[in-house]
Structure 1
Amino acid sequence: MYMRPGYGMFQQQAAKMRLTPQLRKAITILQLSTPELLEVVQQEMNDNPVLEFTGNEWEAYNASHTIHSAAVRRDHIYDPILHAASNEVSLERHLKEQLGFVKKLQPSIRNMIAFMIGNLDNNGYLAPSLNEISDVFKVDLAQAELALRILQGFEPVGVGARNLRECLLLQVQSLSECFPLVSLLIRNHLKDVADYRIHKMSAMLQVTAQEIQAAIDVIKGLNPRPGAAFHTETVPYIIPEVIIEKAGEQLVVLIHQAASPRLSLNGYYERMVKDSSDNNEATKYLFGKINSAMFFLKCLEQRRKTIFRVAQAIVEEQTDFFWKGTSHLKPMTLKRIADKLSVHESTVSRATSGKYAQTPWGIFELKHFFPSGLQMDLGDAASSEHVKARIKEWIHRENHAKPYSDQKLAELMMKEGIQISRRTVTKYREELGISSSLRRKRI
């Protein structure tokens, strides 16, 4: 029988996922970090009068929100962070205080020094040239040079330099004992020093490689950014979502109080809506706010339960890490935890991103417990953290006269059954902040 194509209307059932505003809000709350969550809670309480903190949660919230401390607890009233002396002395203030102690100085010179101080960058280097400064003050170049020399005599040593070479030379001149080779290398061979071309400089300057090595050691001890110590950024204290502690022979998972604020509905407004028989605008307004508040509380509780379940699953999978240390962290994927909890992989990703755990070995982001793995001969896998730990250990024990190359480290890994390439070793070594074998070599 021949069937001709045509048009028509048909009715059928199909399952489809739709992101409602409520579901979108629940997802958003789950993926918030603790500081972001506290801001959302504060905003929600400002917008919704029926929400209030339960018991003494308001004081706990204010303490954690104000200082962003990772150690706020009910049983610790004294907080050392609140009593720490803050370093509010800027580089400009520090230098101007020293300028005030310089007597018998011409007003034009003093004004020029103050101008130079105000034009130092965050590293303590002078931004404008002396020609530009002399033009601003309508003085000859010699007076500008005199003002600069006075400024360069202030603390910290090296401040007021116009480039790296001048900064290092100023510091060398202040050393009580320093052989001329150091200044010579800084003046004429700074690029070779950076590239660690010891034998090239040894042949060029007709000195031993040991003397070049000793001079480089002095240069490495100098400070290329003398003003940086006065430009400290505010330290963002981490509030851990989860606390994982050892309790005898068990590991206990706790949700941090500051990271999970307890809210409730205001009883006065609840009774007002319950007892009201009028269907006026005020009643409708309160009824809507109560429904909104109940959904927000449900989202917070769901977020807390999800993070708690994920943290528990991580502890079960990474037990060796929590008992023995960071080198025992094994490879793990988000999918493994998702399958274990019967949730979607994206849910685990949102529950671990930007969330931190306080462990016996320090504070780590929950994402830290999902390292990539390297194949081993026995069919098992070694985590990247384990490999990094082995690299650090081998380099710590190496012969400094003949340090291990990246290829040699890869071969040592192969002997332990870890399949790794030289390029991967290089990547891990650089992530650890360890120099290459050429720079680690001692003569």
Structure 2
Amino acid sequence: MQLSVETKQVQSQAVSQQMQQALFLLPKNAWELNEYVREQALENPMLEVREPQWQERELYPGTAYRQTEWEKPASGTLAERLAEQLDFRRLDAGSLRAAKEIIAALDSRGYFVEPLADIAKLCRVSDAQAARALAAVQALEPAGVGARSLSECLCLQLERCGQKDEALYRIARNYLDELARRKYAAIASALGISAAKAKKYCTFLRSLKPGVSNVTQEAAAQYVYPEIVVEKTGDTLRVYLDERRLIRPAVDVSYQIDGADSRAAAYLRERRTAAKRLVQSVDLWKTMLRRTAEKIVLAQSGYFLNGAALEPLKMADIADGLGVHVSTVSRAVAGKHLIYDMEVLPLKKLFSRGITGAEKQVSGDYIKRNIRKLLAAEPGLPDNAVAERIKSCGIEIARRTVAKYRREMGIASSYRRNKEKI
């Protein structure tokens, strides 16, 4: 064997401290951002903050806009509960950093859907450390948190229940469609078990939760700060960030570094660098949120201007328009709200899955409006009849999709509606 030393030039992507902090701040809403900056100001003498200005201002003609009781912050989030549990896990510094980043990236169902490799790069840890971090998050309560799919969510809950029967795991991994359609015979044939046992297994799997709510009941009853304001003037919309709600960090220049001893001077320089980095990260938070909101409102202008149904819109569409990764858009809209015509809306509500129509795709919101209209005219119409009516308009939709949208709108089944009439 011959050993040799050679020089190679390779390209690699490193995430700067500035970008790390900006990505850490991006999922935070206005209240969380303010709290974080206040905490940093307590630790950093070079960072000063100016509190938000709650001044009454007229947003709409004849309507005074002021701080009201619905502006109280939400509390008791899933992320907070998970972070508390992490303290009892023996993780190395890198894995702990990655675990916190994974928790921050969980979606509304408590799922982790971002590439694990992105977390490894962001936190500058190995793939093995990122995998340990994900395993640690998935071991927290409630069971199923951090799952990357419905199958994994169910399997995590089965493991937590101490289930050893491999048939349950096989159904969860490979036969969810048959489970949803109650095709017990097909499952029984595939697994080599009786139909009665297949039904028993499926009944147990249905008792598990399909996800973990990322909003507690207590938090859902609370009110939040709307970060974005949308104003209508004629046929134009103005979208801007309500900076009156935001704390304003700045670097305190009153400290004299020159003349201080070497240790004090080094400390103050490091604190000044950290303060500048935080100020720049908050500016990036503002810029990304404002640009994202502008793109969303522009895409859904018909909804705001004319009260039309939402257009089909995915986060990937906004990401392409901004030239960023879809995970950045997901972080930017997480927990953020806008106010329009005195109505507060989550930014995520303005995204809607597309359904194939006769001439173009239509949104779930469009379908919901049609369902509501049909049931207003014929209250006793069952879901399959509603699906057929909508199909006659050239829109392919399944009965179970109608049932799903009906439940989301809080409309009872045809059986209950007819029973109430009697």
TM-score when scaled to structure 2? Answer: 0.59
Is 1:244 the counterpart of 2:240? The answer is: no
Q: Tell me which of 399, 413, 417 is aligned to 1:440.
A: 417
Q: Which amino acid aligns with 1:27?
A: L
Aligned pairs for 1:21-36 (under 5 A) are: 21-36=17-32
Structure 1 residue 375 displacement after superposition: 0.3
User: CA, structure 1 residues 309+328, in 2 after alignment: closer, same or farther (shift >3 Å)?
Assistant: same
Following superposition, the deviation at residue 35 of structure 1 comes to 2.2
Match of 2:272 in 1: 290
- The equivalent residue for 2:281 is 299
Residues 1:48 and 2:44 aligned together? yes
2:386 to 409, 430, 442: 409
Residues 230 and 339 in structure 2, CA contact (< 8 A), matched pair in contact too: yes
Query: Out of 305, 316, 321, which is 1:323 matched to?
Result: 305
Q: Distance in 1 between matches of 2:324 and 2:14?
A: 18
Contact 2:314 2:352 in 1 (8 A): yes
Distance in 2 (CA, whole Å) between partners of 1:233 and 1:316 is 30
The structural deviation recorded for 1:255 is 0.5
Shift of 1:294: 0.4
CA distance in 2, matches of 1:425, 1:239: 33
Structure with the larger RCO, 1 or 2 (CA within 8 Å, 6+ apart): 2
Distance 1:263 1:73, change over 3 A: farther
> Which whole-Å CA distance do the structure 2 matches of 1:74 and 1:289 have between them?
37
Is 1:387 aligned to residue 360 of structure 2?
Answer: no
Q: Tell me by how many angstroms 1:20 deviates.
A: 4.3
Q: Deviations over 1:169-188 (max 9, x none)?
A: xxxxxxxxxxxxxxxxxxxx
Between the two proteins, the alignment pairs up a number of residues equal to 269
Cα deviations by residue, 1:326-373 (Å, 9 ceiling, x for unpaired): x52011111211111111211111111111111237222212222111
Change (3 A) 1:17 1:78: closer
Structure 1 unmatched runs, 5+: 64-71, 83-230
Alignment of 1:183-198 (within 5 A): none
The AA in structure 1 aligned to 2:253 is G
CA distance in 2, matches of 1:35, 1:278: 37
Following superposition, the deviation at residue 261 of structure 1 comes to 2.2
Match for 2:403 among 426, 430, 440? Answer: 426
Deviations 1:297-347 (A, max 9, x none): 00000110011111111122111111122x520111112111111112111
- Flag the 1:233–1:385 CA change in 2: closer, same or farther, 3 A: closer
CA drift at 1:262: 1.8
Cα gap change, 1:291/1:24 in structure 2, threshold over 3 Å: closer, same or farther?
same
Alpha carbon RMSD of aligned pairs, Å? 2.7
Q: CA deviation at 1:235?
A: 4.3
Measured in 1, the distance between the counterparts of 2:300 and 2:285 equals 22
Q: Match for residue 162 of structure 2?
A: none
Cα distance change on mapping 1:80 and 1:19 into 2, 3 Å: closer
Instruction: Report if aligned partners of 2:312, 2:353 keep a CA contact under 8 Å in 1.
Output: yes
CA contact (8 A) 1:322 1:361 kept: no
Distance across 2 between alignment mates of 1:342 and 1:59:
31
State percent identity of aligned pairs.
29
Cα distance in structure 2, aligned partners of 1:413 and 1:251: 32
Separation of aligned partners in 1, 2:376 and 2:305:
24
Which residue identity lines up with residue 249 of structure 2 in the other structure? L
Counterpart for residue 314 of structure 2: 333
Residue correspondence of structure 1 range 88-167 to structure 2 within 5 A? none
Q: Does 1:16 align with 2:23?
A: no
Residue 10 and residue 73 in structure 1: after superposition, are their counterparts in 2 closer, same or farther (change >3 A)?
farther
In 2, Cα distance between the equivalents of 1:17 and 1:250?
A: 41
Equivalent residue, structure 2, for 1:81 = 69
| 1:311 matched residue in structure 2 | 293
Counterparts of 2:287 and 2:218 in 1: how far apart (Å)? 38
Q: Structure 2 counterpart of 1:246, which letter?
A: K
CA distance in 2, matches of 1:352, 1:416: 34
Q: SS at 2:402's partner residue?
A: helix
Residue range with higher mean Cα deviation, 290-299 or 43-52: 43-52
Amino acid at match of 1:19: V
Alignment equivalent of 2:353, drawn from 372, 389, 408? 372
TM superposition shift of 1:405:
0.8
SS of residue matched to 1:282? helix
Tell me if structure 2 keeps the 8 A contact 1:406–1:425: yes
Partner letter of residue 388 of structure 1? K
Q: Write the mapping of 1:212-251 to structure 2, written as runs, cut at 5 A.
A: 235-251=221-237
C-alpha distance 10-259 of structure 1, shift in aligned 2 (>3 A)? farther
SS in 2 for 1:301: helix
**Secondary structure of 2:355 counterpart:** strand
Letter in 1 for 2:373: E
Deviates more, 1:293-302 or 1:11-20: 11-20
Cα distance in 2 for residues equivalent to 1:432 and 1:78: 31
TM-score norm. by structure 1 comes to: 0.56
Once the two structures are TM-superposed, the CA of residue 19 in structure 1 deviates from its matched residue by 3.5
Counterpart Cα distance in 1 of 2:318 and 2:293: 10
